Structure 1
């Protein structure tokens, strides 16, 4: 493929992923997230493609690097998000990504000032910082208390005008998608919210790198996000200690320190809110409607072990007595301009014009022996339904069976069910 065509295809697929993944971000201006995400996504593609989330959904990390990764992505950049974040409080148009609006510039906070607050609010130890003389709104360094070096990072981001804008960033993830040892959330006096999670850098734990994080959402809508590792770097460094150095209580002390307040006050103001006529996010079925409909369409003989999801998408973990199998669904009543994704020898056009794309391929999130079966459908009116199934109860876990509990024909029957078009939208 010529380089210019490859670049164009990448931007189209990245845009599709970001638009779909945007439902997991609670920010006031989706236009900026998508437009800025395209620029940042190219820059971070290499180092994030095989991150915690695995596969293409790693690009969802263009937001704040939070605990994302619940997507059942289809092949070739197709995305169906089963977000681990809480549903956003409002839905905004993602169709304005090419509005020409420039991404908001970063605050020019002195890294040495960030470093000073880090040192003052963590136990005594030796610090080395990547760029002590630089500016920005984040800092990374290496901390050593004598028990082994540990990578530490902290950043500040504006989720929106109110704390409600970023609730998804302080909501514990779904263990069906992100493994963790513990996760707590807390409403603090004064209106701030806190999440502390002890998890892993890689969902499949192919390396023993632990990632412990604390995220504070202030009542003004500012996110203070700190991460620490039991290695000197997020990736590519050997394990240097059993656990990251700071306990959950110490992480809480760090992100809630009053000394951050003068620094986060330097963050750029929220962009101008969209006018009512610009808020045109396509409506989708409710989470409850999607999950109940999915369960009603399952073949006989399956026991639902767990389920979850959000508006427009959901999943179930089923077992027919032969092992757990995850099945996910994404319903997009107005999918936008994605017809170019429905090309190739694996696409069949039905008599009514509906295109059906079926794929069977290895899993992409590291679970040993996991296979991924996917049926993606698009009607002439742009109504899209994607169904995926795995031979494991979670994509990052080893296969529990040779094949998914549902056949490709059963997945196709679910995706093409007329029930989806009858669901009320919100």
Structure 2
């Protein structure tokens, strides 16, 4: 083992323990952050009525959120990898706090766009540094740590149907102001996290050695590592395209095929998201035990038969299969983040930004493409074709094994 790699592993034993308290707090903050983000699409029916917005205007709101949140995440990650930014976490949520208040009381469409941009910026700042905190608190259980962190975000996103029904429908646009309380709570928790983060950096007596070692490794990144990263991102995009297609269009398909009400169709979506959140949680511990590549492969290929047959079965069976498919498919969500972080050590924030933020943006692009396809060939055929996207998981076979991944940085 060379001196650079030795420095990476030469951390005090006390740093190798898993800080569960920190993990649960950052996971809760992730839930609070993403539940606030989910307020925006949940408000679309309310804004359409209160302001008379067109579908194009609503689409621009969604685009504004996604483009800032997704594109900025890798940028923030790159900056944070060069210089740790502990207090960026509460500062990011403060942007979100201002944005949600602006959204609740916006008198005109232009103010809504500005408010959404602030929420997107807050989310872009939070996610890479949040993933870094999970990495730092993980100890030897990196898969579990990312699962605890990521399941918070997925659970927050799954709350959108409930937020619409319980808060925004009865209270209208101003009901979003209640989420300022949620944002303020997150800011308070993140100040605590930021203090822990700062102390962790000061405590580490090998921090400078680790950074020097990481720079040495960065210059030695081979074509094989770059190819593996491109393949991981491709697999994430395929998963994102499928989940975006189902969350945006399956409800319309279910209404048409099974003669469901809007409320009943939302329960299909809610089940898909909730079981996906459960899958996110279990994926990390399973990867710690059975290997990251194995879980990514099982996640994609295990969901493929279910996703392919969902459009052809009766409503009750479709509900069950959709739930199971969501669980299996999202087993790989946190695992792909850890795989990328271990693929290129020292770029924790950058990899988190690419695998979560940029992939989220690509999912939005995929959603637009599927929407265009639905207009071109019809919704039923589009949903059927979408069901075959998880088959792209076969490309997982070309990923380096966990053992190979470890050997590249020794």
Q: TM-score, normalised by structure 1?
A: 0.28
Between Structure 1 and Structure 2, the one with more strand by share is: 1
Between Structure 1 and Structure 2, the one with more helix by share is: 2
Greater RCO, CA 8 A, separation 6+: 2
